[in-house]
């Protein structure tokens, strides 16, 4: 028996308080200042910022932005759009289904951060702010004005928790409830996330395609930045720009559409990734692309162990090494101790099978441990593998791996007569060696994604989640915890071995130093675990995005030298502080990290039930 409480009977304590801005400026002038600053920022990007072309990008041209000015133009345009949307301009309201004011704050932050970073970079390169032309000063003042105006706007921090595109229908239903009880529409309007409106299926699919195309454009631009200052400005703009879109509610809206059209989203993402080599004029950046896919595939396999089953594995990179070594030994390499040359299908089965066997052998005696004890044992396994491979040189141990020299001169793959080591032409576009391996690795990534998705939604996948949430309760309900965890360990290991097979042929050489717990070059166990946590544990797209960032950013920050890891670590700390659930989180984890915070002395709102409540 339940009772029904209406919003009128029990108003939310949060709605009784008028939201206030951070600065004491009237709302009208503040909104005008923010919008006008955005417009002026756009105009300033078409002016000259320096008198000399010595600064990269040539910012001396009037009427055409160059280099970092394009990023300022984008952030300024975003500020202008959300400034007009905050006025309720017809046709722009759909850009901010959650909160235009919150989005305006982060859009203006993107503009001011990118602009002033550019001004200081110009000063550092050319020798002082005296080298700035009027356009640079106008941009600096305009972005500061827009940011001040945005800070003064009153707004309630919006809840923009998306419907998880990887949740089942039941999970999506529970997303619209609190504590399993249906919320009356309208009650606690300031606390419940807006439900995106349902559009025509064709329109929703077009929105998904547009989002994927935008993602491809952003990734292609970021991976192809020509100089260091441009890449740092790109990170600033994309970071705060994504925050603006998230606060506006667009990210949640697109997530809802992808949940309704999962197969379309998966196919579109695959096609968008496949289009990447055709956006490049040479094979240079395809090299980074294929390594990102290898890193991402291994991270997705680790996500089964850590994200679904909740097993902290600190030696996971060893399974990648087992697969790489096993495949290289049977691929006809002249330095291999075995005179065996199997075709690709045989090598990939040997690599995945060897990792599977090692996963079972290591997991069987150790998976009865929990928590930190399991983490220490897996860390020890990773080091044991590296030391064993280093000592198996014929003098310190059996002659299997050639010791520290590794197995070199691994031949390129040939599948049905297609040689991956030579350049081919597809649709008139020359495709080099790394692009060939990019397409192969993309197919393997698709297989891993399908395995993860099918496993997650299966009976064994739900058992993994039960073990992760509360192993004692899961055991009490009849789940065989040891068997379930061993399956997760073995499956994750075999997926890592699958990627290791391709890695061995891409790099030509397999050495023990490639598979340490932590070094400056991923993949290693520390970076793999960081990719899962950073991207979002328990999701498919999270580790893929996290792995791409963790590989791309250090590759682009090499100019920092000894400060590279410091800057990278600082960025991770800040990200975990402000978004601990990850970039693309599982909805359950997101709600755990962002429970409603009440002011001191404030009582939580009463539970609101419907007639169908339990």
Q: Examine the pLDDT at 3 and tell me if it is beyond 50.
A: no
Q: Examine the pLDDT at 15 and tell me if it is beyond 80.
A: no
pTM (two decimals): 0.78
Percent of the chain's residues with pLDDT above 70? 83
* pLDDT (0 to 100) of residue 260: 85
> Mind listing the domains of the chain with CATH numbers?
27-158+193-253 (no CATH), 292-551 (1.10.3470)
Q: How confident is the model at residue 470 (pLDDT cuts 50, 70, 90)?
A: confident
Query: Which strand (E) or helix (H) includes residue 177?
Result: strand 177-178
Give the lowest-confidence range in 123-127, 262-266, 272-276, 555-559: 555-559
Q: Examine the pLDDT at 169 and tell me if it is beyond 80.
A: no
Structural tokens at position 403:
């010791």
**pLDDT tens-place string over residues 195-211:** 556 777 888 889 899 99
Query: Which strand (E) or helix (H) includes residue 258?
Result: helix 250-260
Please answer whether residues 500 and 288 qualify as being in contact, where contact means their C-beta atoms are separated by less than 8 angstroms: no
* pLDDT (0 to 100) of residue 346: 87
Q: How confident is the model at residue 74 (pLDDT cuts 50, 70, 90)?
A: very high
The Cα 45–Cα 351 span in angstroms is 53
* pLDDT (0 to 100) of residue 22: 64
Residues 442-470: what's their mean pLDDT? Answer: 87
* pLDDT (0 to 100) of residue 21: 59
Q: Examine the pLDDT at 397 and tell me if it is beyond 50.
A: yes
Helix orientation angle between 481-507 and 459-469, rounded to the nearest 10 degrees = 100
* pLDDT (0 to 100) of residue 140: 93
The Cα 155–Cα 505 span in angstroms is 55
Residues 248-271: what's their mean pLDDT? Answer: 86
Residues 125-149: what's their mean pLDDT? Answer: 90
Which whole-number Å values give the CA distances from 602 to 48, 87, 598, in the listed order? 53, 32, 6
Give the lowest-confidence range in 137-141, 487-491, 526-530: 526-530
* pLDDT (0 to 100) of residue 72: 94
Please answer whether residues 479 and 468 qualify as being in contact, where contact means their C-beta atoms are separated by less than 8 angstroms: no
Q: Examine the pLDDT at 137 and tell me if it is beyond 90.
A: yes
* pLDDT (0 to 100) of residue 105: 92
Q: How confident is the model at residue 26 (pLDDT cuts 50, 70, 90)?
A: confident
**What's the whole-number average pLDDT of the chain?**
79
* pLDDT (0 to 100) of residue 155: 60
**pLDDT tens-place string over residues 337-387:** 888 888 888 888 999 999 999 989 888 888 888 778 888 888 888 888 888
Which whole-number Å values give the CA distances from 41 to 69, 139, 358, in the listed order? 10, 5, 58
């Amino acid at each position: 028996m339940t009772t029904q409480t209406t919003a009128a009977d029990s108003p939310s304590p949060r709605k009784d308080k008028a939201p206030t801005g951070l600065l004491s400026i009237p709302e009208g002038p503040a909104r005008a200042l923010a919008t006008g600053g955005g417009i002026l920022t756009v105009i300033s990007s078409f002016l000259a910022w320096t008198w000399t072309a010595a600064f990269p990008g040539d910012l001396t041209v009037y009427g055409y932005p160059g280099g970092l000015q394009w990023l300022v133009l984008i952030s300024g345009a975003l500020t202008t759009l959300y400034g007009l949307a905050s006025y309720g301009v017809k046709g722009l309201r759909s850009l901010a289904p959650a909160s235009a004011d919150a989005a305006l704050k982060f859009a203006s932050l993107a503009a001011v951060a990118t602009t002033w970073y550019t001004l200081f970079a110009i000063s550092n390169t050319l020798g002082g702010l005296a080298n700035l032309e009027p356009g640079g000063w106008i941009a600096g003042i305009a972005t500061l004005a827009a940011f001040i105006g945005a800070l003064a706007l009153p707004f309630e921090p919006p809840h923009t928790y998306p419907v998880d595109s990887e949740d089942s229908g039941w999970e999506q239903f529970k997303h619209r409830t609190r504590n399993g009880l249906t919320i009356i529409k309208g009650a606690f309007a300031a606390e419940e996330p807006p439900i995106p409106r349902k559009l025509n299926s064709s329109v929703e699919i077009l929105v998904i395609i547009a989002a994927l195309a935008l993602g491809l454009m952003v990734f292609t631009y970021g991976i192809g930045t020509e100089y260091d200052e441009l890449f740092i400005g790109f990170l600033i703009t994309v970071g705060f720009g994504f925050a603006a879109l998230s606060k506006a509610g667009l990210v949640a809206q697109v997530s809802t559409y992808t949940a309704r059209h999962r197969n379309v989203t998966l196919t579109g993402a695959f096609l968008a990734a496949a289009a990447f080599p055709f956006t490049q004029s040479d094979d240079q950046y395809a090299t980074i692309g294929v390594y990102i896919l290898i890193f991402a595939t291994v991270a997705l396999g680790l996500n089964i162990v850590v994200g679904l089953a909740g097993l902290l594995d600190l030696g996971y990179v060893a399974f990648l090494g087992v697969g790489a070594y096993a495949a290289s030994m049977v691929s006809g390499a002249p330095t291999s101790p075995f005179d065996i040359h199997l075709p690709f299908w045989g090598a990939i089965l040997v690599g995945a099978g060897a990792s599977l066997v090692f996963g079972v052998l290591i997991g069987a005696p150790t998976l009865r441990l929990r928590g930190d004890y399991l983490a220490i044992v897996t860390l020890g396994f990773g080091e044991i593998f590296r030391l064993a491979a280093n000592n198996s040189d014929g003098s310190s141990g059996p002659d299997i791996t050639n010791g520290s020299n590794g197995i070199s001169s691994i031949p390129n793959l040939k599948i049905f007569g297609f040689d991956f080591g030579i350049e081919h032409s597809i649709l008139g576009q020359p495709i080099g060696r790394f692009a060939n391996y990019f397409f192969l690795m993309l197919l393997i990534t698709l297989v891993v994604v399908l395995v993860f998705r099918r496993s997650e939604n299966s009976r064994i996948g739900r058992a993994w989640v039960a073990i992760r949430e509360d192993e004692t309760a899961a055991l009490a309900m009849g789940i065989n915890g040891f068997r379930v965890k061993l399956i997760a360990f073995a499956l994750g290991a075999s997926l890592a071995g699958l990627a290791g097979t391709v890695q061995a042929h891409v790099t030509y050489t397999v050495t023990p130093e490639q598979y340490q717990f932590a070094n400056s070059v991923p993949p290693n166990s520390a970076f793999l675990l960081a990719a899962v946590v950073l991207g979002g544990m328990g999701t498919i797209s999270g580790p893929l995005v996290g792995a791409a960032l963790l590989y791309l950013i250090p590759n682009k920050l090499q100019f920092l030298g000894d400060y590279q890891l410091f800057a990278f670590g600082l960025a991770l700390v800040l990200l975990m502080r402000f978004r601990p659930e990850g970039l693309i989180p599982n909805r359950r984890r997101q709600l755990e990290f962002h429970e409603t915070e009440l002011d001191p002395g404030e009582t939580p709102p009463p539970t609101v039930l419907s007639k169908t409540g339990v």
